[in-house]
Amino acid sequence: METLYDCKILVVDDETALCDMIAEMLTQAGFCAVRTVQSCAAARAQFSTFVPDAILLDVMLPDGDGFSLMRALRHERDVPILFLSARDADEDRLHGLGLGADDYIVKPFLPQELVLRLQAVLRRAYATRLQEASVVLRMGETVVDWGSGTVTRGGQTFSLTAKEYALLRKLAANRGNIVTIDALCSAVWEDGSFGYENTLMVHIRRLREKIEDTPSAPRWLLTVRGLGYRLAKEEVR
């Protein structure tokens, strides 16, 4: 996890249309991995296989209730849970919060309110991990320490040159997205991008030798032909 938007979100609600709406809303907000289910049984299955970082949970479900489901899931692993419910009675809200829910959102809700409250819960729950992500970059077993400018891979430590560091910083800041050749050249050479394409390829090759197990068949620093390069994200399972 490098940013809030890398968190995996599970939406549990028996209304398919609402699930689809929330999934679209969160995806548009920038969340990369959102899954939806409509029952307690499906939620339990996804809890084990998808391993969500947070759950948006309805109170009333066809095969049980959200309160009982939360207790069962929390028995296996502590995970942030926000209740979504049409119930606005104070006793229901207090019951959910009393059980340890991180927030309780009453339907109908404003899309931006849901996103903001989810973000707030994630920041509280994963503050340490998010802070660590600003210090290091992880690519499988490879770890880049921004503070020391070093790469640790396979028990070996490699030092990054200034240009390799600048390239990797630019790619990491846009991880998962294509960074054009011009943008990479501009990030490294102050006088612009013109005429540096071949030199850039040399730096990319050397950078791959430090971060990739098999530089000739890169897993992380990928070429996007005709456009530029992309630093791959961890696979979501």
Domain boundaries, the chain: 4-131, 135-231
Q: Which helix H or strand E contains 121, and what residues bound it?
A: helix 111-125
The identity of residue 165, as a single letter, is Y
Which contacts (CB < 8 Å, 24+ apart) does range 204-208 have? 204/167, 204/229, 206/161, 206/164, 207/160, 207/164, 207/167, 207/168
One DSSP character per residue, 186-218 reads HHH-TT-STT-HHHHHHHHHHHHHHH-SSTTS-
Q: To the nearest whole number, what is the mean pLDDT of the chain? A: 88
| The pLDDT of residue 192 | 59
- Integer Cα distance of 88 and 75 in angstroms: 27
Choosing among 3.40.50.1100, 2.10.210.10, 3.40.1180.10, 3.40.50.2300, the CATH entry for 4-131 is: 3.40.50.2300
Range name among 128-142, 196-210, 217-231 with the lowest pLDDT average: 128-142
Q: How far is CA 158 from the centre of its chain?
A: 27
- The pLDDT of residue 29 is 87
Return d(Cα 10, Cα 40) in angstroms, integer. Answer: 12
- Tell me if the domain spanning 135-231 has CATH number 1.10.10.10: yes
Find the range with the poorest average confidence among 31-35, 98-102, 191-195, 226-230: 191-195
The arithmetic mean of pLDDT across residues 60-86, rounded, is 91
Q: Can you give the pLDDT at residue 90? A: 58
Mean pLDDT confidence for 194-221:
92
pLDDT tens digits for 76-123?
A: 999 999 998 876 665 666 565 667 789 988 888 888 899 999 999 998
40 pLDDT more than 90: yes
Does 237 score more than 70 pLDDT?
no
Name the pLDDT band for 128 (thresholds 50, 70, 90).
confident
